Amino acid sequence: MINAKLAAKSHLHHQTIVKLSEQVSFGGIQLVIIGGPCAVESKEQMETVAQKLSTAPVQALRGGVYKPRTSPYAFQGMGEEGLKILAGVRSRYNMPVVTEVMSISQIEAIAAHADMLQVGSRNMQNFDLLKALGQAGKPILLKRGLAATIEEFIMAAEYILSNGNPDVVLCERGIRSFDNYTRNVLDLGAVAALKQITHLPVIVDPSHAVGKRELVAPVAKAAIACGADGLIIECHPEPEQSVSDARQALSLEDMVSLVNSLKPVAAAVERNISEELGVGLEPAPLCLSAA
Ligand code: PEP
Ligand code: MN
């Protein structure tokens, strides 16, 4: 029995809807597909990504500017400069953006520029950060820890909820196991369980789960089939050149065809992916750019 006073369902059909923007919400009939690179690398890169994905059924953009890297010598992200790039494409393409927050000191700046703050796997049990995000005033995308149990994951969400923020979306991104052929092991059983235990929307990150671009599409389909409310997928204009997670990055073309191929799977489980071409077909004039 998991003692999640706020995260647990109170009745069978209890479902929280988390609003990302006027047009995009998690937890309803419509699935939310988030696409973009592992890391924001340049204005040109994000412009190309937003331009392509805004003409596809992709509802939101991702891109890390504060990157939790295994090695301290690896690229750590563009920081504030990257945030301005995100803010620029957000307004020009009218697409919400999601980016990772690693520390309490970054919350204010990220909340000023992004629509959703992502807590990465490595920070799932950073309790002080979770408590502070209770007051962030923006929805939180909480990723499952590398080796967190389902109970620990739900209790991490409970920290954010109990500190005042009701807008939490859970993200299954694979857990560590003995086999390293795939980067992690995608726990679809956890997705089904989370959907039964909690009223929070649950999405899946197939990219970090499998770590290999050729495995992303089949796993993404399975995630939708088993009830996920959306997906977050890494893609890049030049996947091989990605500064981080190059091996799992899809090309923008493959991203668009993957999303289109999800439509019949979504229909089979009575969900859908918006047929409207993106949310910002016509980019707003460049002068609106904050970057
Ligand atoms: C990411 O989404 O870029 C990321 C670092 O993911 P995770 O925290 O799941 O490893
Ligand atoms: Mn990544």
Domains parsed from the chain with CATH numbers: 32-273 (3.20.20.70)
121 lines ligand 1 (CB under 6 A): yes
CA of 209 to the centre of ligand 1 (A): 10
In angstroms, what is the span from residue 129 Cα to ligand 2's centroid?
Answer: 20
Q: Are 148 and 184 in contact (CB under 8 A)?
A: no
Residue type, 259: V
Residue to substitute in 143, 233, 244 for testing ligand 1 pocket (most ligand atoms within 8 angstroms of CB): 143
CA–CA gap between residue 120 and residue 236 (Å, rounded): 20
Q: Give pLDDT, residue 286.
A: 42
Confidence (pLDDT) at 288: 34
Q: Is 164 in the pocket of ligand 1 (CB under 6 A)?
A: no
CB atoms within 10 A of CB 235: 29
Q: Maximum Cα–Cα distance for the chain, whole Å?
A: 54
Compute, in angstroms, the gap from residue 63 CA to the centroid of ligand 1.
10
165 Cβ below 6 A of ligand 1: no
Residue (of 95, 49, 20, 60) closest to 273 by Cα position: 60
Ligand 1 site-directed mutation target among 172, 173, 248, most atoms within 8 Å of CB: 173
Between CA 269 and CA 277, with CA 274 as vertex, the angle to 5 degrees is 150
Rounded Cα distance, 63 and 85, in Å: 10
> Taking the model in full, what pTM does it have?
0.95
N residues, the chain = 291
What spacing in Å lies between the alpha carbon of 14 and ligand 2's midpoint? 32
- Cα of 168 to ligand 1 centre, how many Å? 17
Q: Is the CB of 183 under 6 A from ligand 1?
A: no
Determine how many CB atoms are found less than 10 A away from the CB of residue 283: 18
Pocket test for ligand 1, best of 121, 122, 176, 187 (most atoms within 8 A of CB): 121
CA of 125 to the centre of ligand 1 (A): 14
Q: Is 96 in the pocket of ligand 1 (CB under 6 A)?
A: no
Of residues 46, 4, 28, the one with CA closest to residue 235: 46
**Segments of the chain with pLDDT less than 50:** 278-291
Nearest bound ligand to the CA of residue 148: 1
Query: Which residue has a Cα nearest atom 9 of ligand 1?
Result: 121
User: What local confidence, expressed as pLDDT, does residue 276 receive?
Assistant: 62
